[in-house]
A and B are shown apart, each in its own frame.
Chain A
Amino acid sequence: MTTSETHRVIDAVWRIESARLIAGLARLVRDLGLAEELAQDALVAALERWPEAGVPENPGAWLMATAKHRAIDLLRHNKLLERKHEELGRELEAQERTMPDFNASLDDQIGDDLLRLVFTACHPALSTEARAALTLRLLGGLTTDEIARAFLVPEPTVAQRIVRAKRTLSEARVPFEVPCGTELAKRLSSVLEVIYLIFNEGYSATKGEEWIRPSLCEEALRLGRIVAELMPNEPEVHGLVGLMEIQASRLRARVGPTGEPILLLDQNRARWDWLLIRRGLAALERAEKLGGALGPYALQAAIAACHARAHTPEETDWERIAALYDGLAQLAPSPVVELNRAVALAMAFGPATGLELVDELMSEPSLRNYHLLPSVRGDLLSKLNRMDEAREEFERAASLARNARERELLLERARACGR
């Protein structure tokens, strides 16, 4: 095996093992930043040794053992060694003796460690960007460079973000633990928010020439699926996974041959990914079976499911979608939800009904720069044959759209309204 082949194998092993490795180490050293450094040291050691010695039979255990040795060395040779650290060193050594094979330790332990990792990386003390970067790095096993490319920001920016995030966690003395009681619900929504943010950045890129970046959607889906298995009894996790699976099922269909966006109702449904739809519907069912009222993600998944179940646009159950949006508006009221509700109402009961609600939203300050408001209004006006007004709205929408592809589509719609 050539060195570069071995390096690709190491990448793959890292992808599979890094989260468990970092999570397990963080429990031992009680510091996420240090845990990651130790894991990185083990990775460097693998890069040095595996090309010559070959990939060990149990690479995960090798990495863990190497990282633990580093931890012990580090603590031993640290001149500012505190008593606490000494204890920790002894604890580590004791564990080293009693637990030589990390993979043989209980699965539950690994699950708990990973869950702690998720909640710590998504801690509210961090900015949303920092949470996303840290989650992709620590749980997703992505390199700083990969994260930078995914978010179209320079690599040093991401590196800085991660360094600062780790410092913030350490300075705020954020414990490496899973929150409990009432705190859990709040913190869980922070985790889900981060995953959905990553997904959306891939699904509807806010920057750049490309309209979608499927690899980012895949990363978010993977994170969602992992968290769903870590917390199988939380309906909203399944709701989010269901929502992402169904939305991702349309990735192929929502981009035309030259990269232009294709709206949901214009998509060729034969190009939807029916495997992901099936998975999405199953996830939604899991959320529903856990009982209780559907949360915001499950409601959105249920809305997405209405579209997924319709084999043609005409079969869409718009009344049910309008009702689900009504539920969502009560649970998580926001102008954007209202705008979507307006679209559903227009489809269910005619464009005039929808336009009424849209007009109410015109004075909403948070939507002032939101291109979809004039875009929807333009659409409804054109359906009501008010073409001059419609054209103005599409032009305004185009001037607000940040994505190049989307802007083109809106200008095209403006032109279609004639002069």
Chain B
Amino acid sequence: MRFMVLVKANEDSEAGIFPDEKILAEMGKFNEELVKAGVMLAAEGLHPSSKGARVKFEGSKRTVMDGPFAETKELIAGFWLWQVKSKEEAIEWLKRAPFDGGTEIELRQVFEADDFGANLTPELRKLEERLRAKIEAK
């Protein structure tokens, strides 16, 4: 199964200030461990929200709001995507990450085909089949 590990923003990350060399080195080592263990699928860090934007949907109306956004702690600063065998394995890996100072890191399981397999109702299955037939006909 796959887990996404979500790293939240803080004042520094929103200000575009990079962590110091020591933390970067520790993080680099941790990332290396993940790669060596065959766990790491992807890892990305995000620019501050000042470089981002939001689009609001209301009926047919689309409103674009440029960053930065105020609620710093709700913002995402980066993520990992891990391939593991269980939630516990993901947690064990996360516990080894070099965070400190009360940082909270969230991990969330990624939906995969299998998750739908048994739950897919006959109606949904038919819909999917029709969809597939349509795509094939193209």
Contact = CB atoms under 8 A, between A and B. Distances in A.
Given A252-B113, A266-B136, A221 B38 contact: yes
Contacts of B125: 257-258
Nearest to A251: B113
A223 interface: yes
Interface string B78-118: 00010111101101110000000000000000001110000
A16 B42 contact: no
B66 interface: no
A12 B92 contact: yes
Contacts of A270: 135
A226 B36 contact: yes
Given A9-B92, A16-B93, A226-B36, A214 B114 contact: yes
Interface in A240-270: 251-252, 255-258, 266, 268, 270
**In terms of DSSP, what is the predominant structure of the interface of chain B?**
helix
B41 interface: yes
B36 A16 contact: no
Contacts of A226: 36-38
Contacts, number: 64
A12 B89 contact: yes
Nearest to A245: B41
A218 B83 contact: yes
Given A59-B92, A111-B36, A222-B39, 17 more contacts: A8-B88, A11-B86, A11-B89, A12-B86, A12-B91, A15-B86, A16-B89, A218-B83, A222-B37, A222-B38, A226-B38, A229-B36, A257-B120, A257-B128, A268-B132, A268-B135, A275-B81
Nearest to A142: B85
A370 to B, nearest CB: 28
4 smallest beta-carbon distances between A and B, as pairs:
A225-B38, A12-B88, A222-B38, A12-B89
Interface string A15-46: 11000000000000000000000000000000
Interface residues of B, number: 27
B26 interface: no
Contact of A275 (B42, B84, B114): B42
A266 B135 CA distance: 9
B37 A16 contact: yes
B92 A279 contact: no
B41 A275 contact: yes
A101 B125 CA distance: 54
Interface residues of A, number: 30
A374 to B, nearest CB: 25
A218 B89 CA distance: 15
A56 to B, nearest CB: 12
B25 interface: no
B69 to A, nearest CB: 27
Interface of A: 8-9, 11-13, 15-16, 59, 111, 214, 218, 221-226, 229-230, 251-252, 255-258, 266, 268, 270, 275, 279
A11 B88 contact: yes
Nearest to B92: A12
B23 interface: no
User: Residue among A222, A252, A257, A266 with the most chain B CB within 10 A?
Assistant: A257
Contacts of A258: 125
A115 B83 CA distance: 22
A279 B91 CA distance: 24
Contacts of A251: 113
Contacts of A13: 92
Nearest to B42: A275
B15 interface: no
Nearest to A312: B138
Contacts of A111: 36
Contacts of A279: 41
Contacts of A252: 112-113
B38 A256 contact: no
Contacts of B88: 8-9, 11-12
A224 B125 CA distance: 34
B65 interface: no
Given A16-B93, A214-B114, A275-B41, A257 B129 contact: yes
A15 B84 CA distance: 9
A270 B131 CA distance: 12
A87 to B, nearest CB: 33
B132 A256 contact: yes
Most A Cβ at <10 Å: residue of B35, B85, B114? B85
Interface in B19-52: 35-39, 41-42
A59 B132 CA distance: 48
A184 B97 CA distance: 36
Nearest to B29: A107
